[in-house]
Chain A
Amino acid sequence: AQSVAQPEDQVNVAEGNPLTVKCTYSVSGNPYLFWYVQYPNRGLQFLLKYITGDNLVKGSYGFEAEFNKSQTSFHLKKPSALVSDSALYFCAVRDRNAGNMLTFGGGTRLMVKP
């Protein structure tokens, strides 16, 4: 079985400050890891993924995430937050040996204040 935990329901950060949205996962095998963002009344937009290789993955809109195998974490980061980054963020995991099914975390609402 695979699972994802996003321990924070909401993260508040001031514009221009760095942001981190936390994610930890559990899979029986090796993971594929993804981050998605959701704006109100919209579907999910793909931000970035970790498949293999460098632990630091860069994605859309200046976001990046670091895969840490020992801590089973895949935290999302951005050096300087924008008000327009305010949205709902989902971390997801897929076991490489378990087909195409994604397991999502509960989501973290990011609020960036001017």
Chain B
Amino acid sequence: GAVVSQHPSRVICKSGTSVKIECRSLDFQATTMFWYRQFPKQSLMLMATSNEGSKATYEQGVEKDKFLINHASLTLSTLTVTSAHPEDSSFYICSATRAATNQPQHFGDGTRLSIL
């Protein structure tokens, strides 16, 4: 089945640090990747939609300059949390999908970000 790899799985760092999270589709070409944020005991909140070779589309309320997304190839998207603060601490999950809209999204295992 389709595999999405997300790294790192856990990050603990000091306030003010920028953190990069990678999302790779290992065995298929992902025309679209999604970045989600999940708070404890809550559902997934879509942050942005990333299409290869074009600028990401951010959801309302998500700061573009805070959460930088790069989708450099059909198998790699990165999310950089710039100058992270404790309120950015969360579980971040990426997903990837093929072109056809009847295909499921395939999820990475998530990154738990803890900002001290």
Report A's interface with B, CB cutoff 8 A.
32, 34, 36, 41-46, 49, 51, 90, 94, 96, 99-102, 104-107
Contact = CB atoms under 8 A, between A and B. Distances in A.
27 contacts: A34-B104, A34-B105, A41-B91, A41-B110, A42-B109, A42-B110, A43-B4, A44-B44, A44-B93, A44-B107, A45-B107, A46-B105, A46-B107, A49-B102, A49-B104, A51-B102, A90-B43, A99-B101, A100-B34, A100-B97, A101-B34, A101-B49, A102-B46, A102-B105, A104-B44, A106-B42, A106-B43
Contact of B93 (A32, A43, A94, A102): A43
Main secondary structure of the interface of B (DSSP, over half): strand
Contacts, number: 56
B106 interface: yes
Given A41-B91, A101-B46, A107-B42, 10 more contacts: A32-B101, A42-B110, A43-B109, A44-B93, A45-B107, A49-B102, A90-B44, A100-B105, A102-B46, A105-B43
A41 B34 CA distance: 18
B49 A43 contact: no
A94 B46 CA distance: 14
B6 interface: yes
Contacts of B109: 42-43
Contacts of B91: 41
Contacts of A36: 107
Interface residues of B, number: 24
Interface string B84-101: 000000010101010001
